Amino acid sequence: MIRFLQRPGPLKKYLLGGILVLISATMVITLIPGGTLGSAFGFGAAPQGVFAKVGDQEVTTQEVNQRAQMAVRRAGYPQALLPFIRSQVAQQMVLEKVELVEASRLGLHVTDDELRDELRSGGLGAQLFPGGNFIGQERYEQFVSQQFNMSVAQFEQLVKDELLARKLRALLQAGVSVSEPEIEQEFKREETKVKLEYAVLSLDKVMSEIHPNEAELKAFFDKNQARYVNAIPEKRKANYIVIDSAKVAEQVPITREDLMRYYNQHRDEYRVPDEVNLRLIQVRTPPPGPDGKADEKAVDAARQKAEDILKKLKAGGNFSELAKKYSDDPSKDNGGELGWIGRGRIPDIEDQIFALNKGQTSEVLRSALGFNIVRVEDKRTAHVQSLDEVKATIEPVVRQEKAARAAETLANDVRTLARTSGLDAAGAKHNLAVIHSDLFSRTSSLPGLGSAPDFMDAVFSAHVKDLPEMTTIPQGRVVFQVVEIKPPQKPTFDEVRASVEADYKQEQAGELLRKQTQELSDRARAAHDLKKAAKELGAVVKTSELVTRNDQVPDVGAMAGPAAVAFDMKPGAISGPINTGRNGIVFAVTERQEPSAAQLAASKDRLRDTLLQKRREEVLENFANNLRAEMEKRGQIRYNKEERERLMNPRFGTAGG
């Protein structure tokens, strides 16, 4: 299958660092206009079982589910998030295919030799080629299966896709650069600080001083009748039966056969890799200098310190106490305790670690970070957990699945009978209560339902003469029938007087605040005295600390907002009116502090890297936007609405697919 691996010449890292996100900058781009899927561009849907087609590349529903399930398990997310994760993964996989199609069109490709070199030298080379030697085909296949729940062929194709994306990235970003003037300009923009004296006019205070009479309110109501034309919303009456999945679940029997069926379908999820419960004492060595050489005296000193610690351990010293006293690893605060870890956590010394027995302490082991002493508190050999070990985890899931199916079957039976014999007869037969509502609006809370937006959408889309229908709610299903509709009504002034008064005061206060803030600015500028103008108009004067664009100032808000004009002003200058929504602000810059040349020199490399990364991401984003638009125009991206609905179903894939 990959025999070439045995010739001279990662896997968790790929998923965490690259495979799921071939081009991270394109994560913000939505290939699906309006957030919907289907025959999105009028070119026909993708085939059954295929979520999307991008050129001749397919994104299958099963691949999306497999990757989403893996992401949920590895991140420890609750299963309730699975539909959302599937949606994100599906969109990202489409993005991957877009990039791969373009890379192929440009003639880029990845050879087997390049794949072998990446597996040998990449993030998990130490696990696949310990000591430079391939671990062997059987162990390789087992490792890929355990870590990724996929075949070697699938994994290798994923690695090739990542390498191909890297080539495309390199091609696109080859000419990206940042000039010295751009670095200096950005540094000044980031690090320039200003101190403000500012006057605040409060919208709430202005509003409290507005006291309209009845004539003013009636005139406002007459002028703005369109605003209130449907102020009394449409209301409806409905009869409905709630099928509560939780109550159904109480009656659902769970047999060992049910548990075994689920266990067999998800056996790979219960594989436990080789693990050790570890304590660590680490004496770190300094990193290499600019010439790439290490300080040998410092390295020798670190080695000697580690040897001395080991002697103390062999003489009966307490590992935990010695770790707290001497270790340079963050785990020292917990007595060196790392807990249960698998292979890949400390790759350069893991073979020595896993060769230790329970209770055994190692000799001094050299790693990339320094010199290490480890103690194995406990060990677990790779195995598949038994049904009894995972029964407590499986049973609630199986019960939920069976309850959901039973609730759906019951709801369908109720709807069928209700359509021929009526809701009362259907409720009586299945011993379910029929609720006869009073008139309610979309925002009402109903008996047995509470706030139920999905139910309201269904009810307010139905007609009085429609047969009983069924819809889904968070707690299960509802079978309902609309029995009365009361259209929205235009209210009288008295019916909406409170709303009219609130609207009037809000509108008047906003305009008055704008005028007062403008007057405050004009007076302050004319007199070159902000405090005097503030006193005349009843504004409160405050003073800020020295702040940058990234800071917040009370009452002013984010300095990156409208107040950012302060960074272009000279000390003593007074601003124009600033409206923050709740306040009117006028400020004077009392102090301006620009960064020094020494500060620029110290930060130049960091800032260059930041700007360069930002510029590269912009290049990738613009490229992806243009590429997407062109592929949409040519009809090279097609979606399958039915497959999207399958992916969004919380129960899809939980029983093997």
pLDDT tens digits, one per residue of 481-531: 999 999 988 889 998 999 999 999 999 999 999 999 999 999 999 999 999
| Tokens 């087609």 belong to residue | 53
Q: In angstroms, rounded to a whole number, what is the distance separating the alpha carbons of residues 426 and 477?
A: 15
Mean pLDDT of 269-284: 88
Q: Greater confidence, 319 or 73? A: 319
Rounded alpha-carbon distances, angstroms, from residue 179 to 142, 186, 607, 640: 50, 11, 11, 46
Q: How many Å apart are CA 478 and CA 288, to the nearest integer?
A: 68
Instruction: Name the least confident of 64-68, 364-368, 546-550.
Output: 64-68
- pLDDT computed for residue 291 by the predictor: 63
The owner of tokens 């968790």 is 12
Average pLDDT over residues 349-357: 90
Provide the pLDDT for residue 36.
30
pLDDT of 650: 63
Local confidence band at 105 (pLDDT 50, 70, 90 cut-offs): confident
How confident is the model over 71-86, as a mean pLDDT?
Answer: 76
pLDDT of 41: 31
Residue in this structure with the two tokens 């299963």, named with its chain if needed? 79
* pLDDT of 360 higher than 80: yes
Q: How sure is the predictor about 20, in pLDDT bands with cuts at 50, 70 and 90?
A: very low
CA trace torsion 100, 76, 156, 144 (10° rounding) = -170
pTM: 0.49
Tell me, what's the pLDDT at 506? Answer: 92
- What DSSP state is assigned to residue 488? -
Tell the CATH topology of 3-175+615-648.
Triger factor/SurA peptide-binding fold (1.10.4030)
What local confidence, expressed as pLDDT, does residue 26 receive?
30
CA distance 157 to 145: 14
CB-count exposure of residue 315 (10 Å: 0-12, 13-18, 19+): exposed
How far is the CA of 466 from the CAs of 419, 434, 442, in angstroms? 10, 18, 19
Model confidence over 379-437: pLDDT tens digits? 988 888 888 888 888 888 888 888 888 888 999 999 999 999 999 999 999 999 999 99
The rounded Cα 99 to chain-centroid distance in angstroms is: 22
Beta pairing partners, 22: none
Question: What pLDDT band is residue 125 in, cutting at 50, 70 and 90?
Answer: confident
Which of the residue ranges 283-297, 381-395, 397-411, 577-591 has the most confident prediction, judged by mean pLDDT? 577-591
Per the DSSP assignment, residues forming a β-bridge with 399 are none
Q: Express as a percent the part of the chain with pLDDT over 70.
A: 90
pLDDT at position 289: 67
Average pLDDT score over residue span 76-89 = 79
Segments making up each domain of the chain, as ranges: 3-175+615-648, 193-228+496-593, 235-259+388-486, 274-381
Tens of pLDDT, residue by residue over 205-214, are: 999 999 999 9
User: Which is it for the CA torsion 165, 166, 171, 172, positive or negative?
Assistant: positive
Q: Give dist(CA 169, CA 173) in Å, integer.
A: 6
State how far the Cα of 313 lies from the Cα of 7, in Å rounded to an integer: 43
Mean pLDDT of 344-372: 88
The pLDDT confidence band at residue 221, using thresholds 50, 70 and 90, is: very high
Alpha-helical runs (H) found in 287-422: 296-314, 319-326, 350-354, 387-421
Which of 355, 212, 333 minimizes the C-alpha distance to 280? 333
Positive or negative: CA dihedral 347, 351, 354, 360: negative
| pLDDT bucket at 199, cuts 50 / 70 / 90 | very high
Q: Which CATH class is domain 274-381?
A: alpha beta
**Mean of the per-residue pLDDT values for the chain?**
84
> Is residue 167 over pLDDT 60?
yes
Of the candidates 461, 432, 457, 456, the residue with the CA atom closest to the CA atom of residue 446: 456
For residue 652 the two structure tokens come to 């899809």
pLDDT confidence of 292, banded at 50, 70, 90?
A: low
Instruction: Output the pLDDT for position 42.
Output: 33
- pLDDT over 90 for what percent of the chain? 41
Identify the band that residue 250 occupies on the pLDDT scale cut at 50, 70 and 90.
confident
Contacts 24+ apart (CB under 8 A), 305-310: 305/371, 306/281, 306/364, 306/370, 306/371, 306/372, 306/373, 307/364, 309/281, 309/283, 309/373, 310/363, 310/364, 310/373
Tell me the sheet residues that pair with 371.
Answer: 283, 366
Distance CA 656, CA 176 (A): 46
What per-residue confidence (pLDDT) applies to 11?
Answer: 34
Higher pLDDT, 608 or 26: 608
Q: Which residues contact 335 (CB under 8 A, 6 or more apart)?
A: 279, 319, 320, 321, 323, 324
The yes-or-no verdict on residue 183 having pLDDT over 50 is yes
> Nearest CA to 482 among 460, 457, 455, 499?
460
- Per-residue model confidence (pLDDT) at position 484: 95
Token pair 């984010």 is found at 558
Mean pLDDT across the stretch 120-142?
82
Contact (Cβ atoms closer than 8 angstroms) between residue 267 and residue 394: no
